[in-house]
Structure 1
Amino acid sequence: MILTILNLNLKFQEMKNLIYHTLSISFFCLFLLPALSIAQGVTTGSMSGLVKDDLGEPLPGATIQAIHTPSGTQYNMVTQQNGRYTISGMRTGGPYEVTVSFIGFEPRVFKNISLRLGQRYVLNVDMDEEGIELEGVLIEGRKDPLLNDEKTGASTTINREAITTMPTLSRSVQDFTRLTPQSSGESFAGQDPKAINFSLDGSVFNNSFGLTGSIPGAPTESTPISLEAIEEIQVNIAPYDVTQGGFTGAAINAITRSGDNEFRGSAFINNRNQRLVGTNARGSEVVTEDFNVQQYGFRLGGPIIKNKLFFFVSGESERRSDPNSPFVAAAPGRTGANVTRVQQSDMDQMRGFLIDNFGYDPGAYEDYNLPTISDKFLLKLDYNINDNHKLSARFNTLLSSRDRPVARTSLGFGGRNQNLFSLNFQNSNYLLNDDIYSGIVELQSNFGGKFSNELRFGLTSNRNSRTWGGGDFPMVDILEGGRNYMSFGTDLLSPNRGLDSDTWQFQNNFTAYLNNHTITAGVNFEYFNFRYTFTPTYFGHYVYNSLDDFYRDVAGEEVELRRFQRQFSALPDGSVPTAVTQAYIASAYVQDEINVTDNLKVTLGLRLDVPFYGQTAERNLQVENLNFQKPNGEPISIRTDRLPEPQFMWSPRFGFNWDVLGDRSFQVRGGSGLFSGRPIYVNISNMVNTNGVLQGQIREDNTTNFPFNPDVNAYIPSNGGAPETYDLAYIDPGFRNPQVWRTNIGIDKELFGGIIGTFEGIYSQQVSDLLFYDSNLRPSSRNLAGPDNRPLYGFGDEENRLNQNITNAVVLDNTNQGYAYSLTFQLQKNFYNGLHAMAAYNYAVAKNMVDGNTQHFLSYENIAAVRGSNYPDLGFSLDDQRHRLISSMGYRKEYKDKFASSISIFYELRNQGVASYVYNTDINGDLIVGNDLLFVPTASQLAEMQFEPLTINGSTFSASDQRAAFNQFIEQDPHLSTRRGMYAVRNGVQFPVVGRLDLSFMQEFFVNINGKRNTLQVRADIFNFTNMINNNWGVGQIITNETPIGIVNIDPVTNVPTYQLNPSSQTLELESFTRTANIGDVWQMQLGLRYIFN
């Protein structure tokens, strides 16, 4: 099997090395085959306990029979010599009926037991001799499921009831994982959103390549699987169970529903549009363009053979039409927070000019919609082979497409997507197609009560491509004041772009239960194959300093472009280059769960992950004769065909759970250990794709050599073959996958009235995180004069490059700098009258060197720094969620078996984001705009700064006017006012908190058909519900201007800069934050109708 998977077209020596590494790992794993275990993603529940006789002594040999009553699925077990038993691999949910029997003792029967995903239900039984009259069948009750001996680190379980009732508009998993206090959107524990491991029925179901969100379907903003199909979700942030790996943020495990002995089904339709949206955000009118979202779907499950073979099928479709952007061009009579600085007359004139002169229609620039089509389907079969062996198979698919806005990156010019400063035309957007096919087979087996086995094999395939309107045309960015003003042409990153990815996974599990020890060991093998075509700037990219420059250039005048760049094929036949990346992770682990005493469990484990790569990159001999260097000046050599070598990622872990009082009312738990994740594989593919062999690159700044040409093939070198200049992306040979050391301490206590109080403390230290630098950047030789004395570079390509034929040589390396911690306080209670409630507050800090959302290898240039992107400082993470308060509540009431009412609410109060204050110009001469952190002068330093007079709409502001305004801005800003005499901190600006409450209300009407209850359900989901009550509530704020100041020039002799304010309005009045007035700041409602039959 290994040789089949490794069917690669490699040179003999490379093949030999690859087979050697693989076989070495495999033979290591084979020694563990007597006790193999997997569970990258948990898919089942379990049950354990201690059986004692009438004298209180352990009772060995007692029979435990657990029956999942809806399906008739049976699990049988016999207690060990110490009277203990464990049943693993059980279906979640219930109810279960459990019978405990032994010769000479009265059988004990327990009903209404339910199991939760990844948790162990503890059922201890005291037996009585025959002839003693018992109470008969017992309705089993136990302490809250939060208080169980399986829990060590922070985790959240979302059951089917919550999935069914919680407010949701998108029907996405993220609407439910927000119940995790340590989450922030898709980020967990302060880590990058792509640092999670999302598993579906135990199979890897991530967006592993990492171009967009962490979960498949993100490119088209589609949910990859219908909520109809999900049974339960579990979020684990610090599971000290070494069978869980592949993440540094969180492991999110979702399992799908199964059929049982009854035919059960449901069909629904949901709808929302602009008429179900509020119009007032704190007194500001919110005008929502016409949009429509319609969701409809079904589910059906039942028996094929009663008690033996079951099926479950679900389907869901979504049709959406969303407005492109709330921002509009400035025109007479237009007012509001969504009116940009871009003049309507400029946009109209440009569209007409392009049509008349080039026959190219760039499309509309406002008042148009983005359509989305999403269809998903799932089929699952469950087969009870016998009482000891259970087989399940699942197949699901997603077919989706969405019109998406033009790529926002502008390589340092402020972002070309719609914002207060810039607008683009519609045909710069693109249609993205994203299809997913996934399947998995799982076999669960039990052997004599002492051993259990789990075998799993899965494949997930993703097919991604792009198209666009208007025909092929170069991308043109037009600047005004140093930042984007207008953009048109084919999206810079879309020509030829496509991605085919396949993820293969094999797992096997064998667990031994040996009295007080549960021995687990295992292997996991993952194979990723990516075929990625990425040719940015393939149609050419022209950047002009003004509209007038563009018009003069087309008229034939000599104009200096701010930048020209394009890539082209360097292959001999001129074909479009495609990068093939093959990645492997072989994992092995061993663990011992020790019941030290009846109230203390300790877990000791060791996990080994070995990532390695197929050597599919091309060799560029020219590069090996060039000199490159690290930021510290240390020389390095580059081999473009050598991807990182295999690294042994050891992850020791220790966990414990102490039932302090022995009655499971007060537990202390926690642990410490290493967690290894996967890289964002697009960063690996960058090296395969960007080596000077597949593609060439032309880029010149401040040049007159490239007059505008609408031909997308213009300026391609006529000689073909190896390009004269090109980019390089390289990975350090010793590069290690992301890894953190995480320590967790938790206390759960049953308080008054059955309330469960929890304290959770988590600290994560980076062991290996991502770091980027340009090894072709010439070191600085001088400094800026004045209080801001940062290093200065050459202000030109020749002055900045070590090798003139290399534009950039970006290296991916590691750093151990960075940490995150959080403190969580939580209260929750399940009442007996249908009410349940939870509230939690989380305080967190997260710092890193580089935000992991970097995708394109040049995206590192956007890292805000003082000394340039090669020298990032420890700053706050983009996912630094400082304050977060959440609460949820649900209540359901039935009325005389005729109808029922349900209400569910979710409230969240949090900081809405972070930002960095930077200069609006290139202050350090590295030719990158928007990445230089602001120096915050003291009052005396400000008096020394030179300012150029500023004219706005005919009003001129002197140097003293600007100094006074800048000083006032610093004083009123929460971040800058604490940094006087120092530099602003990356992502140091915390947006103000905003509180929003989401509500779901359901009214159910019951009808008995053939003696069974059928239900007609009417539902309303309202996000930001409190804004419906008071338009001042639920309204957010964003930063007004991240670039409040820039430089006009730097004296070439003295290095003294001359500054000028960059106000975002027509006056010098600067404020840090502006109230937003868009669809997220007002209430939104979705109405639904559902029919349920049993």
Structure 2
Amino acid sequence: MIKNVTLIIILTLFMPEVMISQGMTTASVNGITKDTEGNILVGVNVKVTHDPSGTVMGGRSNKSGRFNVVGLRVGGPFTIEATMVGYSKSTLNNINLGVGQNMSIDIILSQRAVRTADVEVFASKGDIISSEKTGASQTISEEEINNLPTISRSIHDYSRLSPHVISSTSEGSNVGGRNSKYNTIQVDGAVMSDAFGLSASGTPGGQAESQPISLDAIQEFQVSVSPFDVREGGFTGGAINAITRSGSNNLRGGGYFFGRNGSFVGTSPDANRRPFDDFGESVIGARVGGPVFKNKLFYFMNGEYKSRTDPFTIALGDPSALRFFPLSADSLDIIRQISINQYNYDPGTFENYSRSTDAYKMFARLDYNISDKHRLTFRHNFVHAYQGKDITRAETFYSFSGQEYLFNSMQNQSVLQLNSVFGSRFANELRVAITSIDDSRDAQSPIRYPQITISRLGPDGSASVSFGTRNASQANELSQRIIEVTDNFNIFLGNHVITAGISNQFITFDNLFIQNFNGAWTFEGVEAYKQGIARGFTRGYSLIEGVEMPRARFSYGQLGFYVQDEWTIQSNFKILAGVRGDMFVFPDKPLANPKVMETFKNPTEFSPGGLRSDNMPNPLAFSPRLGFNWDVFDDKTNQLRGGIGIFSGRTPGVWLANQYSNTGMDLGFTDIRDPSFQFTEELGYNAPTGAIQTTEVNLIDPDFKMPQIFRANIAYDRELPYGFFATVEIIYGKTIYDAVYRNLNLKYAYDNDGNQIFGIDGRPRYMGRDRLSNDFTRVLYLTNTTEGNQSSYTIQLQKPFRQGIFTDLSLNLAYTYNIAMDVNSLTSSVAASNWQFNHIVDPNNPTLTNSLFSIPHRVLANLSYRFELAKGYNTTVGLFYEGRSGAPFSMVYFSQSSVYIGDANNDDHWSNDLVYIPTGPNDDKMILTTGNWDELEYFINQFDELTDQRGEISERYSLRQPWRNNLDIRITQDIPINRWQRFQISLDILNFMNMLDPTWGYMYFMPNSNYSMMRFEGYVSQAEINAGLYQQQDLNKIKSGFIPNFRGNNRKDIFSVSDLFSRWQMQLGVRYFF
């Protein structure tokens, strides 16, 4: 029967169709009991004791001689004792277990007449060659957390230790070439992701640049890319699971302080070599754990406070500076005085500004050994973080200080977990988690005011100044409530471990988001602002009588169930076959809009017809997987592993909230573009009389599927001499379902004969503001694409601690080649932005090209080495190096919507139109209106990618930023006090290469992942020819103006240089342990 069940599961693997997060939180031990002749012993009692806490779990070998002990704490050391009447006791000591590890240990018992000694196994956590390992994963041990460099104390500083992860504290982790929004972050297996999806880091509090939990509360991490255990899921990127510390029978704890200021940061990466003044950061905290009742009840607590001040370093009107805004302080003061004297509003200062960030963290955990069969764990995590935000000061955009708001984020999570064993055949793990996350924006100015933007400033007219309340922060709040219930039931049957489980989440969002609620005004030049003559006005307002600020309140449930068979076919060969089903249920429906139903009842160019605004899908999905592990020679020296399967996740909640916020029944929008529109402050609150008032509508495909990919993984691990291990690994992923947006209100342009109109470069033309329905602006449709793929090839060399020669040396070297492709990289939270800012030829039919998350080459090296200066005076040196390809970027036309420049396909949007690359001065498709051909040719010839695309429209994300090199160092020195107490001094240095040479270690980047090399000025018309501006043969040619970079025309000049991350940074730490 068991074989039939397994066969059914394997067959379902080929049924194409999400899985909720369910991470590993414990470890296990399994094996076979035999006598000295190799005969199976049945009924052997196996007891596993966690030595620090005295926690005991046990089991008995079955008729196949196999035993399974599950639900063990992570860490160690453990002692395993095996006893049976007539045989001597067998004892194995000093065993350490990693998260999710199921260590296989065969136990030999001898007749009682033979005296045997205890055996020390010295098993390390997360063994590289291990029978439970199938797909790509990386365990980051407590030693690596302690020894490797970090300043931010971020989860993502450790996820980057996986060869398959590109990560940063602010941008999260790109796992396997996938968007960080598609990852799942867990703590002790419970979800701690930002379910709504506004945080780039993917974690709660990320918008306030806070971590979701203190690093001192974490014992180890696990990063999974393609685990074939169906209990792990909820992602199409990767899973990052942090396991927290717990108390033991020994009182252990300590305090710590980390700090730095401007003198701990290098000088600016320009000729001026300016110091990083007005900067400071400090972290202070403590942790303690111990027994409440010995061997029975244990506690662990951690508290931490972090404070940071960041200066905004940009010069005013100084071209010699690394980063400068082209207006002088005197010019900005003129704008400020006009605002104060003429409009009675103080926009704040424009002088040096520093942003403050504060975060409070508290963590508490209780572990209760109810008996040797039942263990209960309760923990609570609290984070309150706040940060000043919305001040942008860059080369082309400058905010006054009054635009700042205080971002408040508060997070609470409680988790209760019960691990139970019932006899020798059954075990259960039950977990309940309750999470609340509250985010709000508090304007620092007491005056409710619209956003004011003054554009066309500076020598080339590309600069803008902004003040007032930022348009996205005028009405913006969010609350999230998440209840998670997971239960796993294990049945041990001979060589099979059957797992059946449920994993359910119930999520409620309460989101207030009204862009331009106070209004947003645009002026062209300072004089226009002084005269009150605006170029444009935009405002969002309520359409619901008696409700000033409509909110999107909705809930949904994800109901998951799964079954899995872990079948040990031979002692050296294991397969893992499982399948999971998940159903999404949306009990709350958006408001119905009759105009939507009427407009889209029949199919259109982009709509399938029959669409409604009050529709939400209820997808049911299946995720089958098959993994295997083969110990080739049955001696743990050579291992072949891998699998195939489907990995399923979910879209960020904000993409779903768009359907509830933008039905066309709750919010309306006024959008006026008039070069002589009179500014009146009252218009910030009331729509102007006679203005055209329309609304944006967001719809979802009634058959929408949550993100889902197919992954195949194959790897070979080999033990080398002296404790080294080599790995070769290949991962392939193919999109089954991903999200994509279309604007259903667009119309293609046709001539009088009914032929579709294309630009001379082959670009399809749209009808601009002549929409399908003038009742709406954009009608954005969230649907699916099946296009997209990722592939990676990795070679890796590892040497764990305490193995081979140099037992105090840990080493991890890896090279990964990765390619990722998609049609839209979906970096935004707003439907309009996800659609509008995808770099395209045709926005409603995006093509498969490089993904924003495609990083072809990555070299990784981290090592730590510990040595003793004198007895007890341990010194540890840890290094982390990463060299990798730069992120991709696109060439797009220069955008200036106020004068309708840059809209090459006439879809009424700018900043997204890919540039046509001319063949040369005699190109018959383009006329150069400004600049000269020599400059343009010189510029193009510096890019092989552009040279290869001559005579074509440049491909999305086809160019790359410069290669990045980064070397970080950590040095710790232990100073013993006595046997149980010691101090530790630490020094972390980031970008050590810049410390060696101030011209090294620069971090280049491309703002918004695009560069505007040319200005699109339209197509040559017959009227222009008749007026003598062009010749007849120029009809329909593209009018383009080359825009030389203000820093120069060389390739390196187009990139921005990060001021802070191109300097070395240092942090000093002091710890006390007892």
The verdict on a shared fold, with TM-score over 0.5 as the criterion, is yes
Contact 1:791 1:924 in 2 (8 A): yes
Counterpart mapping for 1:737-748 below 5 A: 737-748=706-717
Residue 31 of structure 1: aligned partner? none
SS in 1 for 2:46: strand
Residue 1032 of structure 2: aligned partner? none
Q: 1:686 to 1:734 in 2, by over 3 A?
A: same
Residue 1034 of structure 1: aligned partner? 1001
Cα deviation for residue 360 of structure 1 reads 1.4
Counterpart mapping for 1:909-928 below 5 A: 909-920=883-894, 921-928=902-909
In 1, Cα distance between equivalents of 2:937 and 2:925: 13
SS in 1 for 2:472: coil
In 1, Cα distance between equivalents of 2:498 and 2:1048: 71
In 2, Cα distance between equivalents of 1:1086 and 1:988: 38
CA deviations over 1:245-289 (Å, ceiling 9, x no partner): 111011111111110101111101111111101115476625423
Cα deviation for residue 1064 of structure 1 reads 2.0
Aligned match for 1:890, one of 828, 840, 864: 864
Counterpart mapping for 1:184-195 below 5 A: 184-185=166-167, 186-195=173-182
In 2, Cα distance between equivalents of 1:1075 and 1:566: 33
Cα deviation for residue 702 of structure 1 reads 4.3
Residue 485 of structure 1: aligned partner? 464
Residue 967 of structure 1: aligned partner? 937
Identity of aligned residues (%): 32
Contact 2:269 2:322 in 1 (8 A): no
Aligned match for 1:257, one of 234, 245, 259: 245
Residue 444 of structure 2: aligned partner? 469
Q: 1:303 to 1:657 in 2, by over 3 A?
A: same
Contact 2:137 2:225 in 1 (8 A): yes
Q: 1:448 to 1:860 in 2, by over 3 A?
A: same
Residue 49 of structure 2: aligned partner? 67
Counterpart residue identity of residue 730, structure 2: G
In 2, Cα distance between equivalents of 1:548 and 1:924: 32
Counterpart mapping for 1:543-582 below 5 A: 543-552=522-531, 554=532, 561=535, 563-582=536-555
Residue 422 of structure 1: aligned partner? 397
Contact 1:143 1:664 in 2 (8 A): no
In 2, Cα distance between equivalents of 1:630 and 1:744: 41
CA deviations over 1:872-911 (Å, ceiling 9, x no partner): 1112212111211111111112344342111111111112
Cα deviation for residue 82 of structure 1 reads 1.1
Residue 289 of structure 1: aligned partner? 277
In 1, Cα distance between equivalents of 2:273 and 2:602: 55
Residue 687 of structure 2: aligned partner? 716
In 2, Cα distance between equivalents of 1:630 and 1:291: 58
Q: 1:38 to 1:447 in 2, by over 3 A?
A: farther
Counterpart mapping for 1:53-132 below 5 A: 53-132=35-114
Residue 3 of structure 2: aligned partner? none
Number of residue pairs aligned between Structure 1 and Structure 2: 1017
SS in 1 for 2:748: coil
CA deviations over 1:998-1032 (Å, ceiling 9, x no partner): 11111111111xxx420111111110112211223
Cα deviation for residue 193 of structure 1 reads 0.2
Contact 2:93 2:118 in 1 (8 A): no
Task: Check if 1:1001 corresponds to 2:974.
Answer: no
Residue 624 of structure 2: aligned partner? 652
Residue 562 of structure 2: aligned partner? 589
Residue 458 of structure 1: aligned partner? 433
Q: 1:436 to 1:648 in 2, by over 3 A?
A: same
Residue 527 of structure 1: aligned partner? 506
In 1, Cα distance between equivalents of 2:1055 and 2:826: 28
SS in 1 for 2:923: helix
Cα deviation for residue 807 of structure 1 reads 0.9
Contact 2:962 2:1004 in 1 (8 A): yes
Counterpart mapping for 1:364-763 below 5 A: 364-406=349-391, 417-470=392-445, 471-480=447-456, 485-552=464-531, 554=532, 561=535, 563-627=536-600, 632-644=605-617, 646-702=618-674, 704=676, 706-711=677-682, 713-716=684-687, 724-763=693-732
Cα deviation for residue 202 of structure 1 reads 1.9
Task: Check if 1:984 corresponds to 2:958.
Answer: no
Root-mean-square deviation over aligned CA pairs: 2.3
Aligned match for 1:209, one of 182, 185, 196: 196
Aligned match for 1:276, one of 264, 286, 310: 264
SS in 1 for 2:682: coil
Residue 794 of structure 1: aligned partner? 767
Q: 1:650 to 1:181 in 2, by over 3 A?
A: same
Q: 1:457 to 1:391 in 2, by over 3 A?
A: same
Contact 2:1004 2:1056 in 1 (8 A): yes
Aligned match for 1:229, one of 194, 217, 221: 217
In 2, Cα distance between equivalents of 1:613 and 1:1047: 45
SS in 2 for 1:349: helix
Q: Which moved more, 1:364-373 or 1:604-613?
A: 364-373
Residue 313 of structure 2: aligned partner? 326
Q: TM-score, normalised by structure 2?
A: 0.91
Cα deviation for residue 197 of structure 1 reads 1.2
CA deviations over 1:719-767 (Å, ceiling 9, x no partner): 99xx952110111111111100011111111123221001111111111
Contact 1:337 1:1077 in 2 (8 A): no
Task: Check if 1:360 corresponds to 2:345.
Answer: yes
Cα deviation for residue 689 of structure 1 reads 0.7
CA deviations over 1:538-594 (Å, ceiling 9, x no partner): 111122343343333x1xx6x6x2x32110111111421111121111011111111
Cα deviation for residue 342 of structure 1 reads 3.6
Q: 1:568 to 1:908 in 2, by over 3 A?
A: same
Counterpart residue identity of residue 394, structure 1: R
SS in 1 for 2:144: helix
SS in 2 for 1:551: helix
Q: 1:313 to 1:1071 in 2, by over 3 A?
A: closer
In 2, Cα distance between equivalents of 1:38 and 1:988: 35
Cα deviation for residue 355 of structure 1 reads 1.2
CA deviations over 1:351-402 (Å, ceiling 9, x no partner): 1111111221212234111111100101110000000000000011101110
Aligned match for 1:935, one of 916, 922, 929: 916
SS in 2 for 1:1028: helix
Q: 1:132 to 1:39 in 2, by over 3 A?
A: farther
Q: 1:793 to 1:74 in 2, by over 3 A?
A: same
Counterpart residue identity of residue 682, structure 1: V
In 2, Cα distance between equivalents of 1:730 and 1:1077: 39
Residue 23 of structure 1: aligned partner? none
Q: 1:287 to 1:915 in 2, by over 3 A?
A: farther
- Gap runs ≥5 in structure 2: 1-18, 168-172, 895-901, 1023-1034
In 1, Cα distance between equivalents of 2:546 and 2:508: 25
Contact 1:196 1:250 in 2 (8 A): yes
Task: Check if 1:818 corresponds to 2:788.
Answer: yes
Cα deviation for residue 941 of structure 1 reads 5.5
SS in 2 for 1:939: coil
Task: Check if 1:155 corresponds to 2:128.
Answer: no
Q: 1:769 to 1:393 in 2, by over 3 A?
A: same
Q: 1:944 to 1:739 in 2, by over 3 A?
A: closer
CA deviations over 1:926-950 (Å, ceiling 9, x no partner): 221110011222236636521224x
- Gap runs ≥5 in structure 1: 1-36, 407-416, 950-956
SS in 2 for 1:918: strand
Q: 1:353 to 1:492 in 2, by over 3 A?
A: same
